[in-house]
Structure 1
Amino acid sequence: MVGGQSASLSDTSVALSVRGLTVTLPDGMERSHAIEDVSFDLHRGQILCVIGESGSGKSVTASTVMGLLPRAIQATAGSITLEGREIIGMGREELRDLRGRVVSMIFQDPLSALNPLMTVGAQIDEAMAAHDEGTPQSRRQRAIELLTEVGLPDPALMYHQYPFRLSGGQRQRVMIAMALALEPTILIADEPTTALDVTTQAQILELIRDIQRRKGMSVMFITHDFGVVAEIADSVVVMEKGHVVERGSAAQVLNAPEHPYTKRLIAAVPHLRQDDRERAAHTDASGAPAKPLLKVRNLVKTYRSGSAFFRTQRIVPAVQDVSFDVLPGRTLGVVGESGSGKSSLGRLLIRLMEADSGQILFRDQDIAGLTEPAFRSLRPKIQMIFQDPFASLNPRNTIGRSLTVGPIAHGVPAAKAREDAKALLDLVGLDARAYGRYPHEFSGGQRQRVGIARALMFKPELLVADEAVSALDVSIQAQILELLDRIQRETGVAMIFITHDLRVASQICDEIAVMQKGRIVEFGRPSRIFFSPEADYTRELVSAIPGEQLDDKTAAAATGGRQSTQQTLQQGTQT
């Protein structure tokens, strides 16, 4: 059995063997164990994908292997054999010696994992110095070689850069370089591509696969996306609520899943829709076709940093001559790579920053040139759903206060605001008890529901959703998309949906604007944009979608899970 429990612990083909691993949670948690009786094998020279939703125990398993569990939780049963050495019960110094040299890890969020006060080169150097490897000169040379190996431009210059100056994809490449510094035999990658755009994601997946083949490493790849599994996995372990529910070869799990949970996960993976959404035509009071709610004309925004005097000035054209219309009750998808100008466009539309030139006509009133006091009365009509709901919610405020503080500031009576907040929590699938709880008490999907409820508190006419589902599990992502679609049908709100995931855009958008380097390079209906693209850039984006090249057999194998998925969509309070 591939990745199963039948392999012998003395089997030299096994680099990592986990047997009966149980990690106990503190009293008072929603369940007693983070993981329970988990067993699998990672074979030499192979890529094992561990897949499951948030809370399934994937990252806890990886942290246990690395010896990085927080003090509040601990492994209470089981065995982890790493290159023939038992690490459960191993001392701190011995574990520290194994990290980086035998097993290394790529973390999900490279910006949080990298030290903002240290240059890229210094951080790679530090990984080697901690193990007394080489001299300062040899470590510097090795760091530049690693930066070259992971495909970063101008490695000698990159060595002296700070993390905030790099893009998300570049920071992830730096993390890979750090993980490879001591040439470990086992690499653990914890959701390394979740928040990356499709082309950068494809590059990182290809990089990991290429390095793994060249160096003969064993890779434990943690993900919640079966599209990624289809791209790189040799074998698969599926986890649910701390238990392994299915294991096998990638082909076996993808094409003939046995467990209902696996079927639901595969069924929830979005695919490019070949048909466009059907929408009833909006009309005004006289029955005539509705006018555009939002008209953007020749919008321009350029970022400038540094000093022209010292010849260090950097000029970045973020939005260049962008024009489009949005009708009431319709969704415009804005897609493109990181740095294409998507988020800058969203911030301009809700006036979080000023445009250099151009018009933003909201109900035929140009809001681009309004002062903040003049725009204040219109701000409730244009609301935003942010990418990271945890960062956008005040951790010291209850959900109820976060929902009501804005409307109360705009003159809504406190009692009416509380009543509206509780009604909206019900609308987004959360029960009334959520009103008095704090953000940390909710899952990622639940916090995103709170973010949607907060945006709807003002009864807006336009919602700007900036990567609102990019970091969510595929099943929770499907629930949020279903929720947004239902809210739009019930309220008639217009949406601008900013995303790097073309599959998601095809599910929820009526029209698509493809942005590249600040410009709209293609505009049209999703079926035309994704299946008959005219721009080379659009074709590159579509070709980079992970797993989209799979034939219909894989989708058909998941048919049995679609009924369960629809039931899950109706039970948002449980997720």
Structure 2
Amino acid sequence: MLSVRNLSVSLPPGMERAHAVSAISFDLLKGQILCIIGESGSGKSVTANAIMGLLPKVIRVTEGSIKLLDNEILDADPEHLRNLRGRVVSMIFQDPLSALNPLMTVGAQIAEAMTAHGEGTAESRKGRSLELLAEVGLPDPALMYHQYPFRLSGGQRQRVMIAIALAMEPAVLIADEPTTALDVTTQAQILNLIRDIQRRKGMSVMFITHDFGVVAEIADSVVVMEKGKIVEQGSVDKVLKNPDHPYTKRLIASVPELTGTDRVLPETSTSPILKVEHLVKTYSSGSRLLGSERLSRAVDGVSFELKPGRTLGVVGESGSGKTSLGRLLIKLMKSDSGSIFFEGTDIAQMAEGTFRALRPKIQMIFQDPFASLNPRSTIGHILTVGPVAHGTAYPQAREEAMALLSHVGLDAGAFRRYPHEFSGGQRQRIGIARALMFRPKLLVADECVSALDVSIQAQILELLDQVQRETGVSMVFITHDLRVASQICDEIAVMQKGKFVEIGPPSQIFLAPKSAYTRELVSAIPGKEQARRAA
């Protein structure tokens, strides 16, 4: 179905290496799922974009061949490529916020994929769009059809991207980190959906991921990439159980394991740094005047305490209210009712002018690095502008920024570059460095490692743990990856439909969960069954 031979893609002068992809070759067979795995910046997404004919002008293919159903992609004219995209080969992009049109409703964007190829009538396209919205697990498809992307959570936007890619049921599906932003239960649904369609239609799937649990769950064969080169490829059993290359062994060793062990930390002050009582946030949509208003409680009476130097994990499905809770804690939006006591002071209803002095003490690592980084500023400016505005001398801020870039796995050259020059995972590392620049007392981390490959993920978790032990910073760690939560959190709160349904130490949540919803989350962890059988 797809044959890549000796493909090389050059990078602009001045980058860390000459080629994004260097002399790679692989085949995607009919009805098979090929997983491409590697660290952020290894060339996975560049390979996918080259196949789709979507490479930016600053990088170009210098040699090689890409054949899709005997069509040579590299020599094809733009009109022929447009005819192939969506109908023969389709792609689920890594970053749904930048890939979706903010001015079009979700339903219109799904229908547009069919309209572009003259498929069906307006009525049949709407029916198919509603069907796809239901298939990818979005709630209330009839309502979702008329929503705009900004109204959806990160995971919900990713599901819309998957629906668009599957609209024409293409022969080849390229999935670039399609489940990165999804919670474990939705991730399991999406993997099952892609596998089901692949089997029913004989579809071939090229699945790019950094999650070995997903590889174990879905792959027929695996390609491992490092710095633009293929270092190992073979069947999933061969690569996962008997890897030959040291890099593959290192990646597999970095995969976080689900532990039910409670972390042992030195005793701290008994008075909490953060105390939340009966916090409520309600969203409204539709029109009260026309009688179509709908109210949704994103945060519904949440209460908890967080001691200095401790980490509270908040886990739950996409749309459960995790991100809304994080934004309330850092006062990026106002709560409807309830209290947020930070160091004994209620900040919930505090005026912005009064709260501004406290902002350096409460920092957030955002879920979507593309949206949270200024595209017109260099990374150096992004990291130093905040501390300088709060009185730090620029030379000192620059020195601290360079040290933090090294800590999060980026080289010194990143200081002078712009956000668009980095991969999704690299942008997330920059977001983490920016939050740590202020040496905060409370860090709200919203899916801060979800976009990172396993080796960098392990480094970042180790970094956060080191920072916490050195500075005593407290963390609210929002994640959909229960394996990560078990590694770093002292206490875990399980959130469903705006409420905490269970809260307790990792040993309780993962080994003896009391809630049926918690049991469902734990059982949906990708690769868990394969790991159990291997053991």
**TM-score, reference length from structure 2:** 0.91
Question: Is contact 1:399-1:438 (8 Å) kept?
Answer: yes
Partner of residue 230 from structure 1, selected from 213, 216, 234 = 216
Indicate the residue corresponding to 2:238 in structure 1: 252
Cα offset, 1:458, TM superposition: 3.7
Match of 1:115?
A: 101
Tell me which residue corresponds to 2:530: 550
Matched, 1:59 2:72: no
Counterpart of 1:272 (choices 245, 250, 258) is 258
For 1:205, the aligned partner's letter is L
What residue in structure 2 maps to residue 298 of structure 1? 278
Letter in 1 for 2:277: R
Kindly state the Cα deviation for residue 113 of structure 1 after the two structures are TM-superposed: 2.2
Partner-residue secondary structure (3-state), 1:101: coil
Question: CA deviation digits over 1:452-495, x for unaligned, max 9?
Answer: 44434443322221221111111111111111101111111111
**Percent identity between the two aligned chains:** 73
How much has 1:73 moved relative to structure 2? 2.8
Q: Would the aligned equivalents of 2:20 and 2:227 in 1 still touch at CA under 8 Å?
A: yes
Is 1:298–1:359's contact at 8 Å kept on the other side of the alignment? yes
| Correspondence for 1:80 | 66
Contact 1:255 1:553 in 2 (8 A): no
* Stretch moving more, 481-490 or 309-318: 309-318
- Report the Cα distance in structure 2 between the residues aligned to 1:481 and 1:350, rounded to whole angstroms: 22
String of CA shifts for 1:54-73, please: whole Å, max 9, x gaps: 22121222222222222333
Alignment deviations for residues 21-70 of structure 1 (CA, whole Å, 9 cap, x no partner): 22233333322222122111111111111111222121222222222222
**2:200 aligned residue:** 214
AA aligned to 1:50 is: I
Aligned residue for 1:377, secondary structure, equals helix
The match for 1:262 among 235, 241, 248 is 248
Does residue 1:317 correspond to 2:297, yes or no? yes
State the distance in 2 between where 1:495 and 1:194 align.
22
Structure 2 CA distance for partners of 1:426 and 1:48, relative to 1, 3 Å: closer
Letter in structure 2 aligned against 1:538: T
Tell me the CA shift for residue 170 of structure 1. 4.5
Question: Which amino acid letter does the alignment assign opposite residue 250 of structure 1?
Answer: V
Deviation track 1:548-573 (CA, whole Å, cap 9, x = no partner) reads 22336868xxxxxxxxxxxxxxxxxx
User: What is the deviation of 1:427?
Assistant: 6.2
CA RMSD, 1 decimal: 2.8
Flag the 1:459–1:35 CA change in 2: closer, same or farther, 3 A: closer
Cα 1:227/1:253, change in 2 over 3 Å:
same
Partner amino acid, structure 2, of 1:548:
K
Distance 1:162 1:390 in 2: 18
Letter of the structure 1 residue corresponding to residue 444 of structure 2: V
Quick one: structure 1 residues 385 and 235, their matched pair in 2 at CA, closer, same or farther if it must change by over 3 Å? same
Bigger shift: 381-390 or 224-233?
381-390
Q: Does 1:387 align with 2:373?
A: no
Q: Which amino acid aligns with 2:205?
A: V
Inter-CA distance 403–162: structure 2 relative to 1 (3 Å threshold): closer
Mapped pair 1:511 → 2:494: no
Who is 2:443 aligned against? 463
Q: 1:391 to 1:182 in 2, by over 3 A?
A: closer
154 and 254 in structure 1: CA distance in 2 versus 1, 3 angstrom threshold: same
Match of 1:125 in 2: 111
Matching residue of 1:287: none
- Which stretches in structure 1 are left out of the alignment for 5+ residues? 1-14, 284-289, 556-575
Which residue in the other structure is 2:83 paired with? Answer: 97
Contact 2:158–2:181, Cα closer than 8 Å, also in 1: no
Moved more, 366-375 or 197-206: 366-375
- Which residue of 1 is the match for residue 518 of structure 2? 538
- In structure 2, what is the Cα distance between the partners aligned to 1:87 and 1:437? 31
Q: Secondary structure at the match of 1:94?
A: helix
Query: Matched residue of 1:551: which SS?
Result: helix
Are the equivalent residues in 1 in contact too, given 2:225–2:231 (CA < 8 A)?
Answer: yes
Please name the residue that 2:318 is paired with: 338
Match of 1:42 among 28, 36, 53: 28
Q: How many residues align?
A: 535
Does the C-alpha gap of structure 1 residues 173 and 412 become closer, same or farther in structure 2, counting only changes over 3 Å?
A: closer
C-alpha separation in 2, matches of 1:102 and 1:399: 39
SS in structure 2 opposite 1:274? coil
Does the 8 A contact of 1:399 with 1:434 survive in 2?
Answer: yes
Q: Does residue 474 in structure 1 map to residue 470 in structure 2?
A: no
Question: Given the superposition, is the C-alpha separation of residues 489 and 68 from structure 1 closer, same or farther in structure 2, using an over 3 Å criterion?
Answer: same
Match of 1:502 in 2: 482
Report the CA distance shift for 1:429/1:104 in structure 2 as closer, same or farther (over 3 A). Answer: closer
Change (3 A) 1:207 1:281: same
Q: Aligned partner of 1:530: which letter?
A: F
Radius of gyration: which is bigger? Answer: 1
**Cα distance in 2 for residues equivalent to 1:417 and 1:404:** 6
Separation in structure 1 between the aligned mates of residue 62 and residue 415 of structure 2, nearest angstrom? 36
Task: Kindly indicate whether the alpha-carbon contact (under 8 Å) linking 1:276 and 1:525 is maintained by their aligned counterparts in 2.
Answer: yes
Q: Secondary structure at the match of 2:62?
A: strand
Secondary structure of the residue aligned to 2:266 is coil
* Whole-angstrom CA distance in 1 between matches of 2:410 and 2:52: 36
Equivalent in 496, 508, 522 of residue 528 of structure 1: 508
CA distance, structure 2, for counterparts of residue 111 and residue 164 of structure 1: 8
Verify the 8 A CA contact 2:284 2:293 in the aligned structure 1: yes
SS, match of residue 455 in structure 1: helix
Instruction: Tell me, in whole angstroms, the C-alpha distance in 1 between the residues paired with 2:97 and 2:429.
Output: 25
1:568 aligned partner: none
- Counterparts of 1:91 and 1:462, CA distance in 2: 54
Assess, with a 3 A threshold, how the Cα gap between structure 1 residues 343 and 177 changes in structure 2: closer, same or farther.
closer
1:210: how far off? Answer: 0.9
User: Displacement, 1:547?
Assistant: 1.0
Cα offset, 1:444, TM superposition? 5.4
Q: State the alpha-carbon separation in 2 of the partners of residues 438 and 157 from structure 1.
A: 38
Equivalent residue runs for 1:339-488 within 5 Å: 339-412=319-392, 417=397, 438-440=418-420, 447-488=427-468
In structure 2, distance between residues paired with 1:196 and 1:508:
20
CA distance in 1, matches of 2:384, 2:56: 36
Contact between 1:226 and 1:269, CA under 8 Å: does it hold in 2?
A: yes
Deviation at 1:194, TM superposition (A): 0.9
CA positional deviation for 1:539: 0.8
Q: Which moved more, 1:20-29 or 1:173-182?
A: 173-182
**2:167 matches 1:187:** no
* Deviation larger for 513-522 or 118-127: 118-127
The one-letter code sitting in structure 2 at the alignment partner of 1:270 is P
Deviations 1:368-424 (A, max 9, x none): 232223333333322222234454333444444444433443345556655655665
Query: How far 1:240 sits from its partner (Å)?
Result: 1.2
Letter in 1 for 2:169: E
Aligned pairs for 1:19-38 (under 5 A) are 19-38=5-24
CA contact (8 A) 1:467 1:500 kept: yes
1:374 partner letter = T
Code of the residue aligned with 2:23 in structure 1: it is D
Separation in structure 2 between the aligned mates of residue 428 and residue 90 of structure 1, nearest angstrom: 40
